[in-house]
Amino acid sequence: MTTETLVAGATTAPLSVEWDADHAVTELYREHYRPLVRLAALLVRDHATAEEVVQDAFVAMHGAWRRLRDPNKALSYLRQAVVNKARSVLRHRAVVEKHAPKAMPDAPSAEHGAMNLLEREAVITGLRKLPTRQREAIVLRYYGDLSEAQIADAMGISRGAVKSHTSRGISALRSVLEQTS
């Protein structure tokens, strides 16, 4: 007994019901592997994964060949298996992406860290050379991020004195840093 299977408007070679699984799957593979991979690739958006999906469908069909109620519908079984396996792959991807560890931010290079350390040490050394009031005003303004009014309250001086100490301190710090460079 032979039948013909229609695939997208084209007829394929007759498929014998009496064939054993090896012969039938080999024939189906030869005729339908590429179209099934194209179908799977459209679903999973990855050619290598699509090939695996189709291979798995063929392996499953080979193992279930004797249980097929109608071996003439083997191509339909394959298509359904490809679609189901593609869905499974997509579900697995979604779970993996959902639980993937978050990427660590890019770390600066060792050279960058060393340069920052040297610059920081130079600034700290320069700050230590400043008079106490100038050093306090600069540290509170640029490291403490306080406003002039807050600095004046913290130091117990006027806002004008804060401006004066900060300006003189920055000028002196700039001179010290230029000498070390």
Within the chain, all domains assigned CATH 1.10.10.10 are found at 114-180
What pLDDT, on the 0 to 100 scale, is given for residue 3? 43
Structure tokens at 82: 């490809």
DSSP alpha helix (H) spans, the chain: 21-44, 47-63, 74-98, 110-128, 132-138, 148-155, 159-180
Is-contact 166 136, C-beta < 8 A? no
Record the pTM.
0.49
Residues of the chain with pLDDT under 70: 1-19, 181
Q: Dihedral sign, CA of 60, 62, 63, 68?
A: positive
Is-contact 39 82, C-beta < 8 A? yes
What pLDDT, on the 0 to 100 scale, is given for residue 19? 62
What pLDDT, on the 0 to 100 scale, is given for residue 112? 79
CA distance to 40, 98, 122, 154, per residue, from 95 (Å): 20, 5, 50, 54
What pLDDT, on the 0 to 100 scale, is given for residue 137? 92
What pLDDT, on the 0 to 100 scale, is given for residue 12? 53
What pLDDT, on the 0 to 100 scale, is given for residue 147? 93
Structure tokens at 57: 């469908």
CATH architecture of 114-180: Orthogonal Bundle (1.10)
- Give exposure, 141-152, as e/b (b: 16+ Cβ within 10 Å): beeeebebeebb
Is-contact 177 122, C-beta < 8 A? yes
